[in-house]
Structure 1
Amino acid sequence: MSWVELAPAMLENEHVLLRPVTAADRESLRAIALDPEIWRYFVSLVETDADYDRYFDATLADHVAGRRVVFHITDKHSGRAAGSMSYGNLAEADARIEIGWSWLGRDFRGQGLNRWAKYLLLEHAFERLAAERVEFKTDELNVQARAALRNIGAVEEGILRSFNYMPGGRRRDAVFYSVLRAEWPEVKRQLAAAPKVRLGAG
């Protein structure tokens, strides 16, 4: 089976449930998405309900077409929709995949959900998809996201200058990070050894 078939799986642990997004998720995610802090460093800008509908329609279209594998995140402690995260840039021939398009609602930041969601996606990528490289990228200015990526064990590789346009016309410098197959056992050990409490922004 190809990655497009294997990647959209249901992934869960005691903290989070990740499942492929569906059209029925529009409203549960809308309830937490209209927060400007989410979109501060995003390549999409969501300020109104109409913006959100365009964003969700594009996300769902990418998912259905196999351009991305988009996951709905549920916080298992509350049972509420918490946000979304995706696989993208699926380069199966090169055994390379990206994790990104990540956002969480205000109530779910600083609770460890980012850490556990990325743990599940890394585990799925290395142990079921047989990826050799999982990569991430973020805005050079996004200090919080960069710290979170280092906290999950990703290695900073460098900056691609003037990588893309941001809303408002700024050219973003993109910082790339990765975890390699050889590094995964140690990264997994460190992530799994995290205290079984709701951690800070890791």
Structure 2
Amino acid sequence: MNWTENAAAALENHRVLLRPVTEADREGVRAVAMDPDIWRYFVSAVETDADFEGFFAAMLDDHAAGRRAVYVITDKESGRIAGSMSFGNMAEADRRLEIGWSWLGRDFRGKGVNHWAKTLLLQHAFEVLGAERVEFKTDVLNVQARRGLANIGATEEGTLRSFNFMPGGRRRDAVFYSVLRAEWPGVKANLSAGPKAALPA
């Protein structure tokens, strides 16, 4: 079984359930996605129903085509869909992949959902898929995401300037982070201790 097939498995801990996206998730995802704050630093914007339909179609299409393993996140406390994350840029021959395309609805930010979802994805990447490197990237302006990546133990590697267009035409500087296989035991111990308190802005 290759990475694309093996990545698309249901993952679960005490706090969240991650499972591959399906058509049945459309309305549950819509219920949390129609919030402009989510998309401030995202590479696409969801402002209208038409935007959402295109966005959700891309989730389904990318997953079906193996371009990404797209997960829907369920918050186990409420039983509601909280958002989504993906494995992407899966370079199996080089044992390298990216965790990204991450977003959460308003009710689920700052509640530990991001922490526990990324814990599951990192564990699956290193312990099931056998990755040597897991990478992340975010907008240089996205201070909250950068703090979150630092808090899970990812190492900031550098900034690729003028990396891509953002909605509205701005060119994004992308900051890259990574966790390597040799670092995973320490990162795992750090993650197992639970989410860190958010630092003041």
Please state which band the TM-score falls in when normalised by the shorter chain: over 0.9
Q: In the alignment, what sits opposite 1:78?
A: 78
Per-residue deviation at 1:193?
A: 1.7
* Corresponding residue number in structure 1 for 2:34: 34
**C-alpha displacement of 1:5:** 1.0
In the alignment, which residue of structure 2 is the partner of 1:115?
Answer: 115
Partner Cα separation in structure 2 for residue 74 and residue 99 of structure 1 = 17
Distance 2:82 2:46 in 1: 17
**TM value normalised by structure 2:** 0.97
Deviations 1:40-76 (CA, angstroms, capped at 9, x unpaired)? 0000111011100110001110010000000000000
Alignment of 1:50-199 (within 5 A): 50-194=50-194
SS in 1 for 2:14: coil
CA drift at 1:81:
0.5
Specify the SS of the correspondent of 1:128. helix
5+ residue gaps, structure 2? none
Structure 1: gaps spanning 5 or more residues:
none
Q: Structure 2 vs 1, CA of residues 159 and 44 (structure 1 numbering), >3 Å: closer, same or farther?
A: same
Contact 1:69 1:87 in 2 (8 A): yes
Whole-Å separation in 1 of the counterparts to 2:36 and 2:19: 25
Cα-Cα RMSD = 1.2
Query: What displacement does 1:122 show?
Result: 0.1
Alpha-carbon offset, residue 194 of structure 1: 2.0
1:43 aligns with 2:46: no
Segments of 4+ moved more than 2 angstroms: 199-202
Give the direction of change, closer, same or farther, for the CA distance of 1:58–1:97 in structure 2 (3 Å limit).
Answer: same
Match of 1:8 in 2: 8
Change (3 A) 1:193 1:158: same
**Amino acid corresponding to residue 46 of structure 2 in structure 1:** V
Aligned residues: 199
Q: Which amino acid aligns with 2:156?
A: E
Contact in 2 for aligned 1:38/1:103 (Cα 8 Å): yes
Q: Distance in 2 between matches of 1:108 and 1:45?
A: 19
For residues 164 and 193 of structure 1, the distance between their equivalents in structure 2, rounded to whole angstroms, comes to: 35
